[in-house]
Amino acid sequence: MKFHTKYLWFNTKAEKEIVPIQSEVESAVRESGIKEGFAFVSAMHITSSVFVNDHEPGLWSDILGWLEQVAPARADYAHHKTGETNADAHLKRLVMGHQVMLPITGGKLDLGPWERVFYGEFDGKRRKRVIIKVFGE
């Protein structure tokens, strides 16, 4: 079994943002030379996520709006008593998930016709990273 690791770095301009990362994951798969296996993609920060969904900006707006309803930014979170102000970002990450496992077949990501890979940022404007770990044969 072979392994290949690649890191992506983000410093979003917006506090909450969805960033397409499909091409970077595909690049890591190509670089790995792995024909059959998996690409594991994980956000390495507790207020960001990695997820699979449709590449459609209207949906991204809907996702961010829905997350704000599920975990609204507000001042009364217990987490804020520690001096933090980002409890809602932690909760949004719990809802969206922090990692995905993607199949590789014939040296390419083997996703459904509309599936794409995204980085979700919920407490941005600072440097964060994502790990891509490709493994297989």
Residue written as token pair 């969805």: 18
Tell me the pLDDT tens digit for each residue of 42-78: 999 999 999 999 999 999 999 999 999 999 999 999 9
Alpha-carbon gap, residue 33 to 117, rounded angstroms:
20
Domains and CATH numbers, the chain: 2-72+85-136 (2.60.120.460)
Alpha-carbon gap, residue 99 to 101, rounded angstroms:
7
- Return the pLDDT at 78: 97
Return mean pLDDT, the chain: 97
Tell me the pLDDT tens digit for each residue of 86-123: 999 999 999 999 999 999 999 999 999 999 999 999 99
